[in-house]
Chain A
Amino acid sequence: MKPMDLGAARASTSLPAALGQRIEPTPESKPLLKIEELSLSRGESLILDNVTFSLRRGGTLGLLGESGAGKSTIALTLIGLLRTPEVGLSGTIELDGAGNVTEAGEDAWLKLRGRRVAMIFQDASAALNPCFTIGRQLMTPLRRVMGLSRSAARARAIELLESVGLNDTPSRLSAYPHQLSGGMQQRVMIAIALSSNPDLLLADEPTSALDVTIQAQIIRLILEETRRRSASCIFVLHDLALASQCCDDIVVLYGGQVMETGPSRIVLEAPMHPYTAALKGCVLEFDTEELRPLPSGAPSFASKTPGCRFAPRCPRALEKCAANKPPLADVHGRKLACWNPLT
């Protein structure tokens, strides 16, 4: 048996139960995704610095942090879209059944992208092609990837649209994206992502452009559909309250470094990293009297920066924080990278 990873540890604790029943993974099951010491550099900049986390089959994980934290970079790396020559990748991304895909070539990615790993983009209106009908955009992957005939693809497309809650589906197939509301466009994006029954779904801020009631519908839909297929899902989010509702585990990132990671119940209930605590202090609840925002600032990505990248903004920074990078260590049911954590 492998050493306990976060995903397996999560299975034994009670669940946030956003939707009640969950698939119970067998404790010895291999994680679907295991990322170890993943670094990504671009010229002199180190965009991701030793990112490590894992995700169990059927689990949900949230990547949290401000803009520039590297959340979307991780998502794009996981679907093999950051493969230009100037990007340097090191470390391992182990996808169950595909081995280490860090070094995989485009041929290998063509077999994974859209098939085993699919993505829901943030802005559905920009991600859908305005020149083609919904039907065409949904049927193309079904025919190309799944090898269905035209009529079978059409039948499956109707099924998929129904499963994501669109009504009047046959006529929707001939609609263009601009004829649909934002919520419906996002549903179509989800249908496209689900069309090939992926094992891993990446949802990059799937609801940030939507109204709250539609947001609740869409998040529920993603959770229901991934659960039905025993797929795993990685959410990229900036809303901690939403993350506590839909993610089993969370990874808090700052400047491409993992600050704190673990079961969302544990990490968000009592954050130990000053950064997680600061993010939580910015969440508005209906009785919030005082906000405690962090001072402004942006992380430095210079690869030579030796210490914790959050140190310049950190209210609890010590002298050694800027000089030495704290290791990601197991503390109180989570992993934490901090020299001076909250207790």
Chain B
Amino acid sequence: MTTAPIFRLLDVQKAYEVRAKGGSLFTRAKRRLRALDGVRLSLGPGESLAIVGESGSGKTTLLRVLLGLTQPTDGRALFREKDIGDLAGTDRDRFCREVAMIYQDARGSLNPRMSVLDLVAEPLDHHKLCAKAERRDRVTALLTRVGLAPEMMSRYVSALSGGQLRRVAIARALASEPSVLVADEAVSGLDVSTQAQILQLLRDLQREMGLSLLFITHDLGVAAYLCDRIAVMYLGRVVEAGATREVLKAPAHPYTRALLNASPRFFAPISDPLPGEVPSPIDLPPGCRFAGRCVRAQSDCHTREPALTPASPTRAFACLHPLPFSEPSAH
């Protein structure tokens, strides 16, 4: 795509200083916890990108950096080629209007003392997007767009079901006419049938309104359904990125393979899971961070750290001994 990306992360690093266990409060050495380490991503207009990884992989820190809630310690996080942390004035207003967020905990993210009308109209009021007289009509249109009856307007959060809440959260996100939707586990904890409805809605919205979508999830099936591109994260690094279908069809990184094997599939035997759990991100050993759990690890994996290198126009991975994957047919 030749158009300028909306979001661009250039080798973003986010490190926290923590005190190690043991010793007295004053003598404990400070350790660095690298929550994000050299993350490079871009999201163009109309693109959809899934960020996939287990807990502790840095997905949430990445989100905080993208929303400008946390400053990266190194590297640059850009929104329309300007540093997100330095946005001010009209640029900042524009950022707030263009980037809409759907939170994981829909119930917790909506004020229980506000009616659905006020919740959905709040972004309209804040950005002064419509006249007072139009407010009700705009909310009606938004609610209809997400599949809710306009009568819902007078309800409160406590009277809504899980699926209805997600729809209200989506309507609220759409109210400011954003160009990017950022969603953090927006369908987790729902019944399969409700999840399917919400996923269908998100995909329709993304396609019809030409929105960019950044979807954080741990479910590869959701990523495959919603997003054209995928980035798999492990301990603060992107270990594999590329076109979702290609990556899931033939992953090059052993971690992506392990995630795929662990995802439930009809009648497949339960896979040999990875040994152990994600290690602590404090004071990581040299070499590849996945080496300790990797079935293909060789001696050089413990000394050399692989960088994310493009293997084809649509694929990139960070692994010294990747799995065989087919090159896409040249055209």
Contact = CB atoms under 8 A, between A and B. Distances in A.
18 contacts: A18-B270, A181-B277, A208-B189, A211-B55, A212-B219, A212-B264, A213-B259, A216-B270, A241-B265, A245-B266, A245-B268, A246-B270, A279-B193, A284-B219, A286-B245, A291-B196, A291-B200, A296-B197
A282 interface: yes
10 closest cross-chain pairs (CB), A and B: A284-B221, A293-B196, A241-B264, A242-B264, A282-B196, A211-B54, A216-B273, A282-B192, A212-B262, A66-B191
B273 A217 contact: yes
Interface string B200-225: 10000000000000000011111011
A265 B267 contact: yes
A212 B259 CA distance: 7
Contact of B262 (A16, A216, A285, A286): A216
B163 interface: yes
A308 to B, nearest CB: 17
Contacts of B248: 286
Contacts of B261: 216
B307 interface: no
Interface string A201-213: 0000000100111
A244 interface: yes
Interface of A: 16-19, 66-67, 181-184, 208, 211-217, 219-220, 223, 238-242, 244-246, 265, 268-269, 278-279, 281-288, 291-294, 296, 298
Nearest to A268: B266
Interface string B55-76: 1000000000000000000000
Interface residues of B, number: 41
Given A291-B199, A296-B197, 16 more contacts: A16-B267, A18-B270, A19-B269, A181-B277, A214-B273, A219-B270, A220-B273, A223-B270, A240-B192, A241-B264, A246-B270, A284-B221, A284-B222, A288-B225, A292-B196, A293-B197
B140 interface: no
A287 B224 contact: yes
A239 B264 contact: yes
B192 A286 contact: no
B115 interface: no
**Most chain B CB neighbours (cut-off 10 Å) among A17, A223, A238, A284:** A284
B263 interface: yes
A208 B55 CA distance: 14
B224 A286 contact: yes
Contacts of B258: 213
Contacts of B104: none
A244 B267 contact: yes
B194 interface: yes
B274 interface: yes
B221 to A, nearest CB: 3
B266 A244 contact: yes
A294 B225 CA distance: 18
B195 interface: yes
B188 to A, nearest CB: 9
A223 B273 CA distance: 14
B187 to A, nearest CB: 10
A261 to B, nearest CB: 18
Contacts of B219: 212, 284
Contacts of A291: 196, 199-200, 225
Contacts of B266: 240-241, 244-245, 268, 283, 285
Contacts of B277: 181, 183-184, 214
